[in-house]
Amino acid sequence: MATNLLNRGAFIVLEGLDRSGKTTLAYLLVKELEQRQIPVEFMRFPDRSKDNVIGDTLNKYLSSGIELNPETSHMLFTTQRFAVKDQMLQKLMEGKVLIVDRYAHSGIAYSVAKGLSLEWCKAKESGLLRPDIVLYLDLLPSEGLKRGNYGEERFETVQFQEKVHNAYDQLLDDSWKILSAHDTPETLVRSALSNILRACELNAHKPVELLYQSGRLDEKSPLKERQPFRTNVLSSQ
């Protein structure tokens, strides 16, 4: 067995409509894992940091300050994910569990909801790291409306969220676990945690796979020979 595959961390993504409770659940899960002395790191997409040009642009776009066409916004969101791909792999190989609030699936679902084709969107995300589990917080679009500060941001309308919901449906695969966003935080944490602990065990010695692409990252991957890509322009980390 390749030595670099000893006890890698699990790659966990939280997905769902706006106001489905992903961020709250992510924080609770990080706390639970830390209490169990399991190394864990939280990340979120988009990164809205004002000190990098893409983060600042996406922040303005989401708060409706500027307009971007669907292809442009899609590629800016996607670029942020590719910019930290090497860093994410490195953390997993160091044995850290990654809890990631939104990922490629948000990118695809929101762009398909705007009218872009599923194939085009998936192709843009192809080659990113594939999550071991996608925990999908299932929320009825009409219920999101009742949650705090709804409607402040672009995309926060019931009609648009219905389309996002339908687009997410088309992405379901065997890595997805559906959780009801209407459950209590305690129930959600219990169920998410048992899925995460199982994923840690099952994947500890498995290579990280690539999203929407056959092939795996193994020892010979060029990714492992390259220096991690760092720039203040694309990534604030």
Residues that bind ligand NYM (CB under 6 A): 18, 45-46, 62, 77, 102, 106-107, 110, 153, 155
H-type helices in the chain, by residue range?
Answer: 22-35, 53-62, 70-83, 85-93, 104-113, 118-125, 141-144, 158-169, 185-203, 222-225
Q: Which one-letter amino acid corresponds to residue 68?
A: L
Stretch that binds Mg ion, among 12-20, 78-86, 134-142, 173-181 (CB under 5 A): 12-20
User: Which residue number, 18 or 132, has a Cβ lying nearer to Mg ion?
Assistant: 18
Place of tokens 């971007």: 68
- What is the rounded distance in angstroms from the CA atom of residue 175 to the CA atom of residue 29? 18
CA distance 88 to 132: 13
Least separation in angstroms between residue 93's CB and Mg ion is 31
| Spacing of C-alpha 203 from chain mean position | 18
Count of other CB atoms within 10 angstroms of residue 62: 17
Name which of 18 and 132 has its Cβ closer to ligand NYM: 18
Select 22 or 96, whichever has its Cβ closest to Mg ion. Answer: 22
Nearer to ligand NYM, 45 or 200 (CB): 45
| 18 lies in the binding site for Mg ion (CB under 5 A) | yes
With CB cut-offs between 5 and 8 Å by kind, which of ligand NYM, Mg ion, none does residue 46 bind? ligand NYM
For the bound state, the minimum distance from the C-beta of residue 153 to Mg ion, rounded and expressed in Å, comes to: 6
With CB under 5 A as the rule, give the number of residues binding Mg ion: 1
Give me the residues paired with residue 97 across strands: 40
Q: Which is nearer to ligand NYM, 155 or 229 (CB)?
A: 155
Please give the residue ranges that form the binding site for Mg ion (CB under 5 A). Answer: 18
